[in-house]
């Protein structure tokens, strides 16, 4: 699995544009939280490129880029959680989950 690092607030506009052509996953990760590490590990261990149908994964370090997390909350009208996974399609958030509700099989259902 190859994460794209979400580290610049301007990437959000590019991400939204890209979501018209293929779904985008945003994983909001707190490097200080064991639950977040567990959720991240579960996705990475389950990830199969042939199953995700072009899903482009983005990783956001919440500790380092709090401002981007706030922009995501505002842009997609999804209350901030940590950890949190969002799937963006056609510019809109079509799925979001947090904590132990983040499951690979659930992500696949929303592609």
Residue 83 pLDDT level (bands cut at 50, 70, 90): very high
d(CA 80, CA 62): 10
User: In the prediction, which pLDDT does 57 show?
Assistant: 97
Domain 4-109 part of CATH 3.40.640.10? no
Averaged pLDDT for residues 30-39: 93
Q: What is the mean pLDDT of residues 39-50?
A: 95
User: Dihedral of the CA atoms 17, 20, 89, 41 (nearest 10)?
Assistant: -70
Give pLDDT, residue 1: 84
């Amino acid at each position: 699995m190859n994460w794209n690092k979400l580290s610049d607030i301007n990437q959000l506009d590019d991400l939204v544009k890209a979501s018209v052509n293929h779904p985008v996953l945003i994983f909001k990760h707190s490097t200080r939280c064991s639950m977040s590490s567990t959720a991240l590990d579960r996705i990475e261990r389950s990830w199969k490129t042939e199953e995700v149908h072009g899903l482009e994964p983005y990783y956001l370090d919440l500790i380092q880029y709090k401002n981007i997390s706030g922009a995501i909350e505002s842009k997609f009208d999804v209350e901030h959680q940590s950890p949190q996974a969002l799937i963006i399609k056609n510019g809109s958030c079509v799925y979001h989950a947090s904590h132990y509700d983040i499951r690979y099989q659930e992500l696949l259902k929303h592609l």
